[in-house]
A and B are shown apart, each in its own frame.
Chain A
Amino acid sequence: MADRKVRRRTVLDPAVADLLAGMEEKQAESHLPRRIREKKARERAKIRARRDHRVTYDLPPQLKQSVMELADKLSLPASQLATLALLRFLQDYKNNNIDLSKFKKPSSSPRYDWKLIFPKEWFEEEYINTNKKA
C-alpha cells in the first residue's frame, strides 16, 4: 500500500475565514514602507468611492464594441461617453421624443412585464456608423 501522508483539512466558517484573511492582509501591509502603505490606502479609498458609480448592464456586443472604439478614437473614458448617451436618452424620453411602445413585447420573465425588441440591423456596424436615427 502506498505510504501517503494524509492531512486533515481545516474547514472554517466562511465569515471567520473572510475576516481573518482581511486582517492578515492588513497586518502584512502594516510592515510595508510608509509610502507604499499610503499608496495602498489611497487606492482603497478610490475603490470605495467608485463603488456607488458602478453598474452592470447587458449590452449587445456590437454596441459595446462601438462605444469602446469611439472612446479610443476620442481618447476619452468609455464610461463618460455612456454617461452622456444615457443623459441624452433620459432627456429625450422625458420630452416625449422617444416612443418605447413600438418595441415593447410581453416578457416571460417573472421579474418584468415587458421587454424591448430592437431591429437587428441597428446593431450592424454600418447602421451604427451612419446618421440614421434609431
Chain B
Amino acid sequence: MFIFALANQKGGVGKTTTAVTLASGFAQNKKKTLLIDLDPQGHVAFSFGLDKIPGLYRWVVMEEPINSVTVKVREYLDILPGDKRTEKVKRHITLMDFRESVLAEQLRKSKYDVILLDMAPSLDVLHINGLFASDWVIIPTRMDAMAVDGVKEILLTMGEITQRGHSFSGYSILPTFFDRTTRETMTQFQEIVRAFGDRVLPPVPQDTKVREASAFGQTLWEYTNNSPAMTGYQEGKTFAGGYHQVMKRLLEVVDG
C-alpha cells in the first residue's frame, strides 16, 4: 500500500482536480485505489457526479467499517466522500489520544494498492493526520507568489512531522494552471526549479476543459483525454507536462 497526500495550504491550486485525475489514472493502471476526501467542501464526490455524503464522518466518528462507507465510482476505484460534517471529524479527533496518527492507524488495515488523500487548504488536526498517514506528499501549486509560499509552509510542517518520528518516502511539487506565456509563471517556475530540482514534476497547463469536466461529473481521462492539461505542451513530436506524464512519474514512485 502506498499513500499519497495532496496538500497545499493555499486554496484553488488544483488539489481536488489533481487527486481525482491521479486516482483515476492509478485505477486505469489496475491499481486498487481509494481516494479519501479530507476537505469539508466534499468536492471529490461532486467531481464524480455524486451527491456529497458524510463518509469520513461515518468512518471516523460513527466507527462504521471502511467498506460500508466507501463508494465504488469506477473499476478499481473507490472514494471515501466527505461533506460539511467533516468539520465534526476534526473536533472528534482533537479529543482523542495520539490524535495525530488516528488516520494512519485506521488506514493501516486497508487493502488498497494506492490511497490518495485530498486535503483541505488549512492546517488543522485532519491536515496533520493526512500528512502523518502519507508516504509521499504531492504539493500542487500555481505559479504565483502566494501559492509558492504555501509550498514552503507545507514543507515546514512536513519537517515538524519528521521530527516527531514519521518518515516520508519523498515529495513532489506539481505546477498547475501553468501558463508559459506570462513572465510571472517563468519567474516562479525558475525559482521552484532552482530550489527543488528533480522534485518538480512536469507542469499541468492551464486548460478551461478542466473546469468543464467536473461540471459533467467526469474525470479528465473521460471528458478530455487529449486536451493540454492531459497531454501537456507539444514541441514537434515530443510532449512536456500534463497529467499523462505526471501519472507515469508517480507510477514509477509506486512501483519503485
Contact = CB atoms under 8 A, between A and B. Distances in A.
Interface of A: 10-13, 15-16, 18-20, 22-24, 27, 51
Contacts of B235: 18, 22
Interface in B54-84: none
B186 A16 contact: no
Contact of A16 (B183, B201, B239): B201
Interface in B190-222: 190, 193-194, 197-198, 200-203
A24 B183 CA distance: 10
A12 B197 contact: yes
A99 B249 CA distance: 52
Contacts of B233: 19
Contact of A12 (B193, B238, B241, B245): B193
Interface in B6-45: none
Given A10-B197, A13-B202, 4 more contacts: A11-B198, A13-B201, A15-B241, A19-B180
A10 B194 CA distance: 8
B202 A16 contact: yes
B177 to A, nearest CB: 15
Nearest to B192: A16
Nearest to A48: B236
B161 interface: no
A13 B183 contact: no
B228 interface: no
A25 B200 CA distance: 20
Contacts of A20: 189-190, 193
Contacts of A27: 183, 186
Contacts of A23: 180, 186, 189
A46 to B, nearest CB: 14
Given A12-B193, A12-B198, A27-B186, A18 B203 contact: no
B232 A15 contact: yes
B240 interface: yes
Contacts of B189: 20, 23
A24 B197 CA distance: 16
A12 B240 CA distance: 13
Given A18-B235, A19-B241, A20-B189, A12 B203 contact: no
Contacts of B183: 27
A132 B14 CA distance: 70
Nearest to A10: B197
A38 B245 CA distance: 33
A15 B203 CA distance: 9
Nearest to B194: A10
B198 A18 contact: no
A20 B180 CA distance: 9
Interface string B217-256: 0000000000000001101101111000100010000000
The listed residue with most B CB atoms (<10 A of its CB), out of A11, A12, A20, A51, is A20
A13 B186 CA distance: 17
Contacts of B249: 13
A51 B234 CA distance: 14
A24 B235 CA distance: 15
B180 A16 contact: no
B240 A19 contact: yes
